[in-house]
Amino acid sequence: MVTPEYADVIAASVRIRELALKTPLKPSLSLSDRSHSVFFKLESCQPIGSFKIRGAANKILSLSADEKLRGVITASTGNHGKAVAYAAGVANIRCVVCLSNLVPANKILAIRALGAEVDIFGQSQDEAMARAEARSHSEGLIEIPPFDDKFVVAGQGTIGKEILEELPNVRTIIVPVSGGGLAAGVSLAAKSIDPNINVIGVSSAACPAMKLSLEAGHPIDVPELPSVADSLGGGITLKNRITFAMIRDLVDEIMVVSEAELVSAIQYAFWRERLVLEGAAAASLAVLLRLNQQLPSPVVSILTGDNIDPQRFIEIVSERRPDE
């Protein structure tokens, strides 16, 4: 079976206990009233600042003893790369991260600080990815996929399990979607426990790859525009085996939010809730700011991470203070 089942989520929750936190489910006072309750699932509290630690840890800890000896490789510069480097470091497994010459020095230092070897190669992310694939074939290093993998999806699904354990009567869960590993895992867990829960996916207008693929009926390539939600960039891969079908079957709807809505949500989170969010996490809040009262309550909004450039963050929140 390449597609995970709920039993795989349960197994993941035990396996990743040492590496990933059970994150808080924080009531939002500003978005709730007596007849409507909203909660934030704070994945920004994870040690590396995003939920990606769950999937990466589940995958790495599931490797055989022989595979662990060989080590792992990835080419991601973002939250997935950080998660793989951190999980491999804690588990004492060799980790190589392939980066192109375009990656800035501070990112290289951050990845090295997590204990990974850095292999600088080529002039683009594509070349770095090809390098990771080649070294995986020639040296037997294990590639850790960012989303389209049974163990990665099951790891992200532990978020859904935690939400249902703490709030069994939840009616709506809002989850950001890029490659779809998170939304696939969360809806698998939630709908296995209660099929009537409404799962809303949300993508940025800059790169709604999953939504356009669902409309086309198969995975398609989508051009990517620059976005404050950089963690929602990238396609779902034309060879997608798992997340496309799971999201088609389990997610009720995918909404698309604009850059202006993402920026407003980052501002709202900081001024009204004292939370630091990166753009991808703000996508989940942007849906609430658009139609909070229309969503069946209780509502849980998954705030996926806080890895935003601090200087950029200060500029955004200085621009405008949402009305109290």
Can you give the binding site for ligand PLP, defined by CB under 6 A?
A: 50, 52, 79, 147, 176-183, 231-232, 278, 280-281, 304-305
Helix axes 259-273, 279-291, angle to 10 degrees: 90
- Residue 156 CB neighbour total at 10 angstroms: 34
Question: By C-beta, is 180 or 208 nearer to ligand PLP?
Answer: 180
Q: How far apart are CA 216 and CA 213, in angstroms?
A: 5
Question: Cβ closer to ligand PLP: 52 or 150?
Answer: 52
Measured from the CB atom, is 71 or 179 closer to ligand PLP? 179
| Residue at shortest CB range from ligand PLP | 305
Task: Choose between 100 and 227: whose C-beta lies nearer to ligand PLP.
Answer: 227
Query: Torsion over CA of 145, 147, 149 and 153, rounded to 10 degrees?
Result: 140
Q: Which is nearer to ligand PLP, 135 or 269 (CB)?
A: 269
Question: Please, what is the minimum distance in Å from the beta carbon of residue 278 to ligand PLP?
Answer: 6
Q: How far apart are CA 150 and CA 141, in angstroms?
A: 19
Q: Which residue do the tokens 């963690």 mark?
A: 231
> Peptide bond before 322: cis, by omega within 30 degrees of 0?
no
CA atoms within 13 A on the CB side of 305: 26
Closest approach of ligand PLP to the CB of residue 323, in Å? 27
* Between 11 and 202, CB nearer to ligand PLP: 202
Smaller CB distance to ligand PLP: residue 37 or 227?
227
Least distance in angstroms from the C-beta of 210 to ligand PLP: 7
Contacts of 293 (CB under 8 A, 6+ apart): 36
CA distance 203 to 208: 5
CB of 35 to ligand PLP, least distance (A): 30
Give the start-end residues of each E strand in the chain. Answer: 25-27, 38-42, 72-74, 95-99, 117-120, 142-143, 172-176, 198-204, 253-257, 299-303
Give the burial class of 29: count Cβ atoms within 10 A of its Cβ; 0-12 exposed, 13-18 middle, 19 or more buried: exposed
Phi, psi at 120, each rounded to 5°: -90, 125
Least distance (Å) between residue 306 CB and ligand PLP: 8
Q: Give the nearest distance from C-beta 283 to ligand PLP in angstroms.
A: 8
Q: Min. distance of Cβ 199 from ligand PLP in angstroms?
A: 13
Q: How far is the CB of 77 from ligand PLP (least distance, A)?
A: 12
What is the C-alpha separation between 235 and 113, in angstroms, rounded?
Answer: 29
Measured from the CB atom, the residue of 182 and 287 that comes closer to ligand PLP is: 182
Taking CA atoms, 264 is separated from 31, 33, 279, 288, in Å, by 15, 21, 10, 12
Shorter beta-carbon distance to ligand PLP: residue 71 or 279: 279
To the nearest whole angstrom, how small is the minimum distance from the Cβ of residue 49 to ligand PLP?
A: 8
